A and B are shown apart, each in its own frame.
Chain A
Amino acid sequence: MEGEDRVSALQARLAEAGYIAERSLSASLLLFTEMQRPLLLEGDAGVGKTEIANVIATIHDCPLIRLQCYEGLDVNSAVYEWNYQHQLLSIKLLEQDHVSAESAEQTIFSKRYLLERPLLAAITQPQSPVLLIDEIDRADEEFEAYLLELLSDFQVSIPELGTIPATSRPFVVITSNGTRELSDALRRRCFYHYVDYPEFDKELRIVNARLPQIGPQLSRQVVAFVQDLRKIDLRKTPGVAETLDWAGALFKLGISSLDAEPQLLMDTLVCLLKTREDSVRLEPFEVERLVARAL
């Protein structure tokens, strides 16, 4: 039963830090921090994957190091880079001092001239940081393979400098949007959690926690509206981020109930509908129906 208590405790701490997590997610996170195995998060855009990394950093009071992946990401921008300007300048200065070529090389390829990029920074911290590798599917297979090596050895070798072992093991959170199938090897090395759109209760608690000023009536209506909207076949289903945006917008415009100003309400739907097709599709009468159900 002690384990159950720890899950509840973690859940409470997450809530304190502003992240409403269901019990199963809390349990995964507890396991993840205890066993220090990377955590792979999948789910639609806007369900709060990145936020999970943020909140873990907050509750453990450790730095968050983020690596945003993109096509063409390579070692230079992910692991380390030399500070070339600095190096070139030093070469000239060393030349004036008539320093031998060998010791000049030793000087300019020392840690002083090394620029740490996220992956190297993450393993050389005095305290375990949270390393967020965002949208790993955007990087290519080569990078994934490299990452795999890093995650098993926790050391980086730099040809000019030698091997740099990890001083601390980071908590690695990896997110993926599924634009490419990840390798089995990477999947196997990670814990997996699929983050789904939140249920009504959870989303309501999120809105209340993030935007306490909007009041219980509006937050209830907003969440009910969005929950119903998700059931409609839209091209881009609104996530939690969109719900929060919309609730914030309604509050700023002084709307206290969804049926108060229909025209203004239609105008605020840009917060939820992110493609032209979707905004054409959702006709006023349908909005009215959704509003009526949400009240």
Chain B
Amino acid sequence: MQNELQLAGLLQRRLVEFVRLARSNNFRVGVAEELDAQKVALSCGITASTRLRWGLRALLCSSQDDWQRFDELYDAYWHPANVQSRVSAAAAGRSRKRPEPHNATESSRQEAVRSSDADSQGAGDSDDTSDGGGTREGASFAATLAKTDFQALADPDEMRAVETLVDRLARQMRKRAIRRQRVSKVGSRIDLRKTLRGSLRFGGDPLVLSYRERIKRQPRLVLIVDVSRSMSMYSFFFLRFARALVSVFRDVSVFAYHTHLLPITEALRQTDLIRVRNSLAMASQGWSGGTRIGASLATFNEKYGQIVNSRSVVVIVSDGLDTGEPDLLAAQLSRIRPRCRRLVWLNPLLGRSGYEPVSQGMQAAMPFLDLFAPAHNLHSLRKLEPALTSL
């Protein structure tokens, strides 16, 4: 009896620990799930291993991404012999609060975190913004980000200037009617509920009419930022811009690409700048060389294509220096164009005197763009304001 109780207590602890491990691996779970996990285990039977796996998977996952990562995490925790590296690599720097490392996964995870910190700090010493032109192969994305971009992300003055601009943009951005309606004093359709209630005062005669009108909203923004080597002078600025956008606009999605495409909206949403930098650097580890706009946009269309709708303004920020096929770029743009309201390409190089958009990638992209404009600093972005707000 005593033994059974102890066993149960141990299992409970293991379960709670597992839920916490999931949390530190960016699963969206909280204390409530620690309790629910016990219920799930009871319902599934703790001895039925596969069922417990499925049950916990249903409980703890909340997106396709979680779904695909879950098995690995489960195996790593419950069958420690199979520890795999991806679990540790995927853990972001959130794990600080964990009391003590309890197995191999945990310690390797912390090591990963530590090494990333070292990466970004060590990188701060050297400043290489001088070679901004031309693509150079072989630099890993993480390095690029840490060295130039996110260090500078913390400069408060410039950040404030960007925020002011974005704030103004957000307020001025032309609002469009959507289908949701609200009650108002004027309008074209009568709101019967309000009118009828109002009519009771006059014994049922609707003397005062209430109306419904459509609500107006800002467009949905989709920002796709090139963070490759050739853009290193500018990408930090656009990521700031993106961060300001994320905090002001209701409906904005931001993606960064280099050789792959990654959603970074959630990372930008964190309030702590150091964390923003860390999670961006973590997310992008293992990337290397070249810029593949076409392939990145293909990923976008395939995985995130649904977020583009008739209210979307898609803004691509890139210099158009592409090591991939221009045809692929054109094909992908032709898929985005009909589904969004406006397709904008901001090219920082356009601000330089003597630059002509003659690169193959740029040439391929031109026919699909509603707006092709320079944007290399705050000033040029300010000049762009009227064009952006009227989109």
A residues neighboring B (CB under 8 Å): 1-4, 7, 23-24, 27-28, 31-32, 34-35, 37, 39-40, 42, 70-72, 74, 76, 81-82, 84, 87-88, 91-92, 94-95, 101, 104-105, 140-142, 160, 177-181, 184, 187-188, 190-194, 235
Q: Which residues on the A side are within 8 Å of B33 (C-beta)?
A: 188
- B364 located at the interface, meaning its Cβ lies under 8 Å from any Cβ of chain A in the complex: no
Q: Are A35 and B43 in contact (CB under 8 A)?
A: yes
Q: Are A7 and B45 in contact (CB under 8 A)?
A: no
Best-surrounded residue of A31, A105, A179 (most CB of chain B within 10 A):
A31
Q: Are A179 and B203 in contact (CB under 8 A)?
A: no
In the docked arrangement, what's the CA distance between A191 and B200, Å?
46
How far apart are B111's CB and chain A's nearest CB, in angstroms? 29
Q: Which residues on the B side are within 8 Å of A70 (C-beta)?
A: 179
- B307 located at the interface, meaning its Cβ lies under 8 Å from any Cβ of chain A in the complex: yes
Chain B residue with Cβ nearest A109: B197
Chain A residue with Cβ nearest B331: A277
Q: Are A71 and B204 in contact (CB under 8 A)?
A: no
A3-B51, A187-B28 provided; 11 other pairs, C-beta below 8 A?
A1-B47, A4-B48, A23-B50, A28-B55, A28-B58, A35-B36, A74-B180, A179-B306, A181-B253, A184-B28, A188-B28
- B309 located at the interface, meaning its Cβ lies under 8 Å from any Cβ of chain A in the complex: yes
- B380 located at the interface, meaning its Cβ lies under 8 Å from any Cβ of chain A in the complex: no
How far apart are B101's CB and chain A's nearest CB, in angstroms? 27
- B30 located at the interface, meaning its Cβ lies under 8 Å from any Cβ of chain A in the complex: yes
Of A28, A92, A235, which is within 8 A of B54 by CB?
Answer: A28
- B61 located at the interface, meaning its Cβ lies under 8 Å from any Cβ of chain A in the complex: yes
Q: Are A194 and B54 in contact (CB under 8 A)?
A: no
- B44 located at the interface, meaning its Cβ lies under 8 Å from any Cβ of chain A in the complex: yes
Q: Are A82 and B196 in contact (CB under 8 A)?
A: yes
Known contacts A35-B39, A71-B180, A188-B33; A180 and B196 CB within 8 A of each other: no
In the docked arrangement, what's the CA distance between A181 and B246, Å?
14
Binds A, one of B4-12, B62-70, B224-232, B382-390: B62-70
Known contacts A31-B55, A105-B200, A140-B180; A76 and B47 CB within 8 A of each other: no
Of A71, A105, A191, which is within 8 A of B59 by CB?
Answer: A191
Best-surrounded residue of B47, B204, B250, B253 (most CB of chain A within 10 A):
B204
In the docked arrangement, what's the CA distance between A17 and B203, Å?
55
Q: Are A71 and B178 in contact (CB under 8 A)?
A: yes
Known contacts A7-B51, A34-B43; A71 and B196 CB within 8 A of each other: no
Q: Are B204 and A2 in contact (CB under 8 A)?
A: no
Q: Are A177 and B51 in contact (CB under 8 A)?
A: no
Known contacts A27-B55, A84-B196; A184 and B39 CB within 8 A of each other: no
Of B32, B54, B62, which is within 8 A of A184 by CB?
Answer: B62
Question: What are the 7 tightest A-B residue pairs by CB atom distance, in nearest-first order?
Answer: A72-B179, A91-B204, A187-B62, A3-B45, A27-B54, A194-B67, A191-B58
Q: Which residues on the B side are within 8 Å of A24 (C-beta)?
A: 54, 57
In the docked arrangement, what's the CA distance between A131 and B265, Å?
32
How far apart are A252's CB and chain B's nearest CB, in angstroms? 33
Chain A residue with Cβ nearest B301: A235
In the docked arrangement, what's the CA distance between A164 and B64, Å?
36
Of A72, A84, A92, A187, which is within 8 A of B178 by CB?
Answer: A72
Known contacts A31-B44, A188-B30; A82 and B51 CB within 8 A of each other: no
Q: Which residues on the B side are within 8 Å of A88 (C-beta)?
A: 196, 204
In the docked arrangement, what's the CA distance between A141 and B217, Å?
13
In the docked arrangement, what's the CA distance between A93 and B6, Å?
73
In the docked arrangement, what's the CA distance between A184 and B45, Å?
28
Encode contact with A along B28-42: 1 for CB under 8 Å, 0 otherwise.
111011001001100
- B359 located at the interface, meaning its Cβ lies under 8 Å from any Cβ of chain A in the complex: no
Q: Which residues on the A side are within 8 Å of B59 (C-beta)?
A: 31, 191-192
Of A39, A74, A178, which is within 8 A of B181 by CB?
Answer: A74
Q: Which residues on the B side are within 8 Å of A193 (C-beta)?
A: 58
Q: Which residues on the A side are within 8 Å of B61 (C-beta)?
A: 192, 194
- B193 located at the interface, meaning its Cβ lies under 8 Å from any Cβ of chain A in the complex: yes
For chain B, residues 186 to 221, give those with C-beta under 8 angstroms from any C-beta of chain A.
192-193, 196-197, 199-200, 203-204
Known contacts A71-B179, A188-B33, A193-B58; A179 and B309 CB within 8 A of each other: yes
Known contacts A35-B39, A84-B196; A104 and B204 CB within 8 A of each other: yes
Of B29, B250, B306, which is within 8 A of A177 by CB?
Answer: B306
Q: Are B200 and A180 in contact (CB under 8 A)?
A: no
Q: Are B181 and A42 in contact (CB under 8 A)?
A: no
Known contacts A31-B40, A179-B307, A188-B28; A95 and B203 CB within 8 A of each other: yes
Of A7, A32, A104, A194, which is within 8 A of B200 by CB?
Answer: A104
Q: Which residues on the B side are within 8 Å of A28 (C-beta)?
A: 54-55, 57-58
Best-surrounded residue of B36, B54, B58 (most CB of chain A within 10 A):
B58
Best-surrounded residue of B32, B67, B265, B335 (most CB of chain A within 10 A):
B67
Known contacts A3-B51, A71-B180, A76-B193; A101 and B200 CB within 8 A of each other: yes
Encode contact with A along B252-266: 1 for CB under 8 Å, 0 otherwise.
010000000000010
Q: Which residues on the B side are within 8 Å of A160 (C-beta)?
A: 197
Q: List 16 A-B contacts (CB under 8 A).
A: A2-B45, A4-B48, A23-B54, A24-B57, A37-B36, A72-B178, A72-B181, A82-B192, A84-B193, A95-B204, A141-B250, A160-B197, A181-B307, A188-B30, A188-B62, A191-B58
Q: Which residues on the A side are within 8 Å of B43 (C-beta)?
A: 3, 31, 34-35
Chain A residue with Cβ nearest B201: A101
Best-surrounded residue of A95, A160, A190, A191 (most CB of chain B within 10 A):
A191
How far apart are B113's CB and chain A's nearest CB, in angstroms? 23
Q: Are A190 and B62 in contact (CB under 8 A)?
A: yes
